[in-house]
């Protein structure tokens, strides 16, 4: 029987109750950057519901900052230039290098927080991207609901009472009892007032219900891409766009979906695809599929053992809004071809506590202390590359314009973050936030790595077990180290 090409549609089942953009279930932004001469470590916690309040924490690495002000702005478009008055951040009483503040984010989408610093070396600023979505709807607390219902009932009864008194008693002098005609007018007034008040309450309830369901529809849903295997080694990915784009003025109108024809490259590629074998997480690849048409990507797979794999596809929209498209697939053994370009990975990674073996006797050493990690705390994850004699590696090269790339992944696969030395934000969004072209970040980057150490700012969003995959480039080859981590 002749079969030119066999298409196997793969089963996928990837349902998550939680969701977040730009990574999976890891919405907070950790950023290591410079406002002019001032070195800052920034943590942004977007609100769970938009409109809502974002929490901002700015830590000055040096001792030279006097004042920090915060300003939320859209990344692109007219809103990017319409600056409201910045809010001063509060300096911590116990830690003078720590500044905190909160900002109202009124609309979902691609934001940045402008951090204005004044200090001993003058004034400077840093723009940090902040993607904001509603990830859930807060139901009203039962106690508050009962209280408000009771108060509402009292208001309605009071209104009816006032109307009855007005039509029945207004013409009477004090102590006089209403005549039968007035009492009848009172009863008619009562009936009419009851109908009007009841109609107002029912209409109000329906209006509120429509608003609430419109809000629930605006909750961010994690996009599930659809994978298919063609010809035994070509992975085709059809992206999913389950979310609406900008909020429409009238929510009952049919809203637009987030577009997929507006993707911009992030550190050189339209998609960064991470493939991790489950549940052992010993096989890991960082690949860069080609876009065949808007919303469709294709990737030639390397040699892969049969098994279940989790896929995480990072993309960035023209607004700087990042998303991670996810899928779970069962793949047969794939003969595959050699990796090329920036594609890299390994099919047999033993996870290390602190020392990961690289090729040629080199090692990647995690510079961690014995302290356990606490969830939602910013940390610097530092890794030193050393040669077989334990001396710092002298031949590190940039990999896609950066000293290193890291993936933080919970062992159940439900928390994923793709992090760089500058932090957990999309590098394309950083360039846009600074008013430059999306790939300016790469071009401006220092193309020699002078240090044998690479560091990543990040915080675990929840307690649990994690794997950290760290990729560096040395002697023309990308190497991956895998580490186990636990957050409390």
Q: CB 267 → Cu ion: shortest distance, Å?
A: 6
Q: CA 374, 378, 379 angle in degrees (round to 5)? A: 85
Distance between CA atoms of residues 213 and 344, nearest Å? 44
Query: Residues in the chain, how many?
Result: 488
C-alpha distances (whole Å) from 223 to each of 4, 46, 283, 290, 362 are 32, 19, 24, 19, 39
> For binding to Cu ion (CB under 5 A), which residues are involved?
405
Residue 323: strand pairing partners: 315
Please name the helix (run of DSSP H) or strand (run of DSSP E) that holds residue 146, with its range, or none: helix 142-169
Q: CB 419 → Cu ion: shortest distance, Å?
A: 8
Q: Considering just the CA atoms, what is the radius of gyration of the chain in Å?
A: 29
Q: CA 125, 127, 128 angle in degrees (round to 5)? A: 140
Q: CB 311 → Cu ion: shortest distance, Å?
A: 16
With contact defined as beta carbons under 8 Å apart, do 328 and 311 qualify?
yes
With contact defined as beta carbons under 8 Å apart, do 220 and 182 qualify?
no
| Closer by beta carbon to Cu ion, 133 or else 316 | 316
| Closer by beta carbon to Cu ion, 45 or else 418 | 418
C-alpha distances (whole Å) from 15 to each of 205, 241, 257 are 32, 15, 20
| Closer by beta carbon to Cu ion, 302 or else 423 | 423
| Closer by beta carbon to Cu ion, 317 or else 405 | 405
- Using CB atoms within 10 A of its CB, is residue 183 exposed (0-12), middle (13-18) or buried (19+)? exposed
Q: CB 261 → Cu ion: shortest distance, Å?
A: 23
Distance between CA atoms of residues 229 and 331, nearest Å? 8
- Using CB atoms within 10 A of its CB, is residue 147 exposed (0-12), middle (13-18) or buried (19+)? exposed
Q: CB 405 → Cu ion: shortest distance, Å?
A: 4
Q: CB 406 → Cu ion: shortest distance, Å?
A: 8
Distance between CA atoms of residues 113 and 101, nearest Å? 11
Helices 142-169 and 180-217 pack at an angle, to 10 degrees, of: 150
| Closer by beta carbon to Cu ion, 405 or else 473 | 405
Q: CB 444 → Cu ion: shortest distance, Å?
A: 16
C-alpha distances (whole Å) from 204 to each of 160, 208, 303 are 17, 6, 61
């Amino acid at each position: 029987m002749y079969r030119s090409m066999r298409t196997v549609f793969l089963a996928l089942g990837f349902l998550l109750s939680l969701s977040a953009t730009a990574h999976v279930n890891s919405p907070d932004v950790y950023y290591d950057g410079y406002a002019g001469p001032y070195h800052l470590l920034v943590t942004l916690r977007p609100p769970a519901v938009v409109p809502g309040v974002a929490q901002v924490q700015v830590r000055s690495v040096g001792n030279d900052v006097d004042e920090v002000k915060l300003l939320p702005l859209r990344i692109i478009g007219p809103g990017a230039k319409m600056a409201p008055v910045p809010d001063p951040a509060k300096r911590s009483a116990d830690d003078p290098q720590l500044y905190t503040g909160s900002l109202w984010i009124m609309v979902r989408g691609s934001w940045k927080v402008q951090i204005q610093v004044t200090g001993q070396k003058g004034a400077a600023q840093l723009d940090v991207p902040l993607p904001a979505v509603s990830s859930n709807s807060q139901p009203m607390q039962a106690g508050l609901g009962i209280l408000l219902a009771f108060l509402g009932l009292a208001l309605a009864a009071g209104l009816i009472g006032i109307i009855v008194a007005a039509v029945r008693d207004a013409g009477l002098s004090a102590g006089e009892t209403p005549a039968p005609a007035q009492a009848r007018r009172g009863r008619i007034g009562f009936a009419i007032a009851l109908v009007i008040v009841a109609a107002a309450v029912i209409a109000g309830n329906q209006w509120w219900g429509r608003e609430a369901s419109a809000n629930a529809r605006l909750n961010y849903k994690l996009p599930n891409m659809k994978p298919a295997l063609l010809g035994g080694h070509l992975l085709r990915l059809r992206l999913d766009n389950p979310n609406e784009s900008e909020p429409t003025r009238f929510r009952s109108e049919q809203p637009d979906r987030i577009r997929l024809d507006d993707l911009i490259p992030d550190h050189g590629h339209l998609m960064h695809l991470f493939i991790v074998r489950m549940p052992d997480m010993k096989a890991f690849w960082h690949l860069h599929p080609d876009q065949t048409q808007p919303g469709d990507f294709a990737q030639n797979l390397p040699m892969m053992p049969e098994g279940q794999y989790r896929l995480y596809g990072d993309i960035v929209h023209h607004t700087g809004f990042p998303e991670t498209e996810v899928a779970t697939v069962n793949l047969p053994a794939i003969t595959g071809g050699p990796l090329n370009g920036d594609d890299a990975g390994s099919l047999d990674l033993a996870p290390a506590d602190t020392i990961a073996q690289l090729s040629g006797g080199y090692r990647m050493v995690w510079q961690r202390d014995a302290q356990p990690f606490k969830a939602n705390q910013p940390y610097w994850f530092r890794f030193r590359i050393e040669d077989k004699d334990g001396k710092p590696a002298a031949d590190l090269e940039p990999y896609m314009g950066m000293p290193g790339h890291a993936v933080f992944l919970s062992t159940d696969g439900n928390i994923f973050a793709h992090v760089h030395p500058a932090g957990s934000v999309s590098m394309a969004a950083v360039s846009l936030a600074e008013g430059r072209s999306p790939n300016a970040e790469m071009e401006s980057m220092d193309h020699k790595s002078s240090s044998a150490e690479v560091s990543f700012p990040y915080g675990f969003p929840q307690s649990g077990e994690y794997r950290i995959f760290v990729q560096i480039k040395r002697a023309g080859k990308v190497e991956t180290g895998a580490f186990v981590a636990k957050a409390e």
